[in-house]
């Protein structure tokens, strides 16, 4: 009964005119940036963080959430029509979606992606509503030792699930932890790594780092790789699938929803890993695996359902534990901190309207997307003809103005430029920025809980292994790390990501 009363509270908050408007803005903007290759939800949310400072907390978070799962919808449109994934999670969809479009079934592929995403989004949102309260209750039993061990597990998982070299992912996490230490020591008040710059006494600006590493670096990469975009001009054709096509979709959609719902919770997982995993499963369970790569409807339905389900359930660790499952969730934590909200299990108890309003807005946003997405296909595709040299100066100006408006600090602009070049350099070295951002966000919390636990235990480090929950989490971290380092598992993991690339 509490679930229904809480959902009623959430819908009353999310259905206000202001929040409906921000939800609509979020999903439309998310679809737009999902359609435009090379921008992405992470970079867009990073750029919009300064704007959220002027909004009500629940409105800003509803809009940012809409951008995230809206981008999963939008990415499939260009993946299917022009074989150019707007989002990395749509790269799998392009394999069979574009082949369906070449056979004159573009409309069916788009409808399959939209309906599968809507079903998966609705089911996974219900799972968020169902599991978030009990997980929050468990999290309230956590002490400093348990939180430290949980963050260690999160960082290890982000390393394990990162693409490419494990050593590079580990290096990115360590760099993020070091950057998170810049500022004033929380217990002694001593400045650390500030280089004598008083503006950095409160630490590096999260918005500046996020905009630089994801926004500016993304622009530099796109300018380097700018090329003409050939838009498919043939008619989309019929949109509504036949009964036979519905039957072919049903199994992949259900399996994709289940896979995405589970993998979305894992740190470093989310939509991308879910889409690749779903495609692999569908190919293995198919009675005709040879059709994959040549226009298999299961190759569209499964991954699209999985990436949307993964996008939704990644909110579970954010809302219950205050732990980000992926870079976008790390940015959401940044948005909460900007609004003066302390992420963690107390959010549900202290601000139930915000907690349940965000969850209810996901249902509303998914309904908006399925109603708006298909009629606007022509508009989204025409936007691809806009030259990038027109777009990038506008984006750069918005980034700079937005970052400066947060604290009116000139050094933040220097930081944006520095982190933009750093992010571009990391891309050249094939280092993922996601573990760096997770390390930067979790670093201060990791240090604070480590030192608090040691103070409470009077300097006895065994407190981390004598408390059952803390010990369990640390053992899980060790198991994950050992499993990733085993040669056979590591070889299989590299092969999966090679196939995905």
How many whole angstroms separate alpha carbon 59 and alpha carbon 61? 6
Q: Which residues make Cβ contacts (< 8 Å) with residue 188, sequence separation at least 6?
A: none
pLDDT of amino acid 191: 84
pTM for the full model? 0.69
Token pair, residue 12, equals 């009353």
Name the phi and psi angles at 183, rounded to 5. 130, -150
Q: Do the beta carbons of residue 336 and residue 324 sit within 8 Å?
A: no
Would you give the distance in Å from CA 155 to the centre of its chain?
15
How many whole angstroms separate alpha carbon 186 and alpha carbon 175? 20
**Alpha-helical runs (H) found in 140-212:** 144-160, 166-180, 206-210
- Convert the pLDDT of each residue in 107-152 to its tens digit: 788 888 888 888 888 888 888 878 777 777 777 777 888 888 888 8
Positive or negative: CA dihedral 196, 440, 331, 493:
positive
pLDDT of amino acid 320: 77
Q: Which residues make Cβ contacts (< 8 Å) with residue 59, sequence separation at least 6?
A: 18, 19, 22
- How many CA atoms does the CB half-sphere of 141 hold within 13 Å? 8
How many whole angstroms separate alpha carbon 64 and alpha carbon 341? 15
Question: Which single residue is written with the structure tokens 């235990």?
Answer: 457
How many whole angstroms separate alpha carbon 433 and alpha carbon 169? 9
How many whole angstroms separate alpha carbon 393 and alpha carbon 10? 39
Q: Give the DSSP per-residue string, 315-366.
A: HHHHHHHS--SSHHHHHHHHHHHHTT---STHHHHH-HHHHHHHHHHHHHHH
Token pair, residue 114, equals 């939209």
pLDDT of amino acid 233: 42
Which secondary structure element, helix H or strand E, spans residue 232, and what is its range? Answer: none
Q: Do the beta carbons of residue 263 and residue 270 sit within 8 Å?
A: yes
pLDDT of amino acid 355: 84
Q: What is the dihedral of CA 256, 331, 435, 283, to 10 degrees?
A: 10
Q: What is the dihedral of CA 380, 383, 384, 389, to 10 degrees?
A: -150
How many whole angstroms separate alpha carbon 431 and alpha carbon 309? 27
Q: Give the DSSP per-residue string, 413-473.
A: HHHHHHHHHHHHHHHHTT--SHHHHHHHHHHHHHHHHHHHHHHHTTT-TTHHHHSHHHHHH
Question: CA-CA distances (angstroms) from residue 230 to 18, 76, 375, 383?
Answer: 39, 16, 21, 12
How many whole angstroms separate alpha carbon 436 and alpha carbon 316? 21
CB atoms within 10 A of CB 457: 16
Ranges of residues in the chain with a pLDDT under 70 are 1, 36-40, 43, 82-91, 161-164, 225-239, 266-273, 374, 377-378, 380-388, 391, 398, 402, 405-407, 487-501
Please provide the size of the chain in residues: 501
Helices and strands counted in the chain (H then E): 24, 2
How many whole angstroms separate alpha carbon 303 and alpha carbon 271? 9
Token pair, residue 137, equals 């209750």
pLDDT of amino acid 270: 59
pLDDT of amino acid 494: 53
pLDDT of amino acid 21: 92
How many whole angstroms separate alpha carbon 112 and alpha carbon 115? 5
Q: Which residues make Cβ contacts (< 8 Å) with residue 13, sequence separation at least 6?
A: 19, 58, 353, 354, 356, 357, 360
């Amino acid at each position: 009964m509490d679930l229904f009363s809480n959902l009623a509270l959430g819908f009353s908050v999310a259905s206000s005119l202001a929040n409906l408007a921000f939800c609509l803005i979020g999903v439309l903007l998310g679809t737009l940036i999902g359609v435009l290759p090379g921008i992405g939800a992470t970079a867009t949310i990073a750029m919009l963080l300064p704007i959220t400072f002027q909004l009500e907390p629940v409105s800003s978070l509803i809009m940012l959430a809409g951008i995230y799962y809206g981008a999963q919808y939008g990415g499939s449109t260009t993946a299917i029509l022009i074989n150019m994934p707007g989002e990395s999670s749509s790269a799998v969809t392009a394999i069979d979606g574009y082949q369906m479009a070449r056979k004159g079934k573009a409309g069916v592929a788009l409808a399959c992606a939209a309906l599968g995403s809507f079903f998966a989004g609705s089911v996974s949102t219900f799972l968020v509503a169902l599991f978030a309260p009990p997980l929050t209750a468990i999290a309230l039993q956590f002490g400093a030792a348990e939180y430290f061990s949980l963050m260690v597990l999160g960082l290890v998982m982000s390393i394990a699930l990162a693409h490419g070299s494990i050593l590079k992912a580990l290096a990115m996490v360590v760099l993020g932890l070091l950057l998170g230490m810049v500022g004033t020591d929380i217990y002694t008040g001593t400045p650390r790594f500030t280089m004598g710059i008083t503006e950095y006494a409160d630490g590096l600006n999260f918005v500046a780092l996020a905009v630089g590493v994801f926004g500016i670096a993304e622009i530099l990469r796109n300018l380097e790789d700018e090329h003409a975009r050939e838009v498919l001009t043939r008619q989309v054709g019929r949109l509504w699938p036949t009964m036979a096509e519905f039957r072919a979709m049903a199994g992949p959609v259900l399996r994709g929803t289940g896979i995405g719902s589970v993998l979305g919770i894992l740190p470093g997982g989310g939509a991308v890993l879910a889409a690749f995993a779903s495609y692999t499963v569908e190919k293995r369970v198919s009675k005709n695996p040879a059709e994959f790569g040549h226009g298999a409807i299961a190759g569209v339905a499964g991954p699209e359902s999985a990436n949307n389900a993964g996008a939704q359930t990644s909110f579970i660790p954010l809302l219950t534990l205050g732990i980000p499952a992926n870079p976008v969730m790390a940015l959401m934590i940044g948005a909460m901190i900007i609004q003066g909200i302390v992420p963690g299990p107390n959010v549900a108890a202290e601000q139930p309207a915000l907690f349940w309003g965000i969850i209810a807005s996901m249902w509303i946003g998914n309904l908006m997307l399925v109603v708006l997405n298909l009629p606007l296909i022509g508009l989204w595709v025409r936007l691809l003809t806009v030259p990038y040299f027109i777009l990038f100066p506008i984006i750069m100006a918005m980034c700079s103005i937005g970052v400066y408006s947060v604290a009116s600090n000139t050094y933040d602009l220097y930081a944006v430029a520095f982190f933009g070049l750093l992010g571009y350099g990391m891309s050249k070295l094939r280092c993922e920025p996601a573990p760096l951002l997770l390390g930067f966000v979790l670093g201060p919390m990791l240090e604070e809980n480590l030192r608090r636990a040691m103070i409470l235990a009077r300097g006895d480090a065994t407190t981390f292994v004598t408390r059952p929950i803390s010990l369990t989490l640390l053992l899980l971290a060790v198991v994950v790390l050992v499993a990733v380092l085993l040669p056979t598992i590591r070889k299989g993991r590299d092969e999966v990501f090679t196939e995905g690339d």
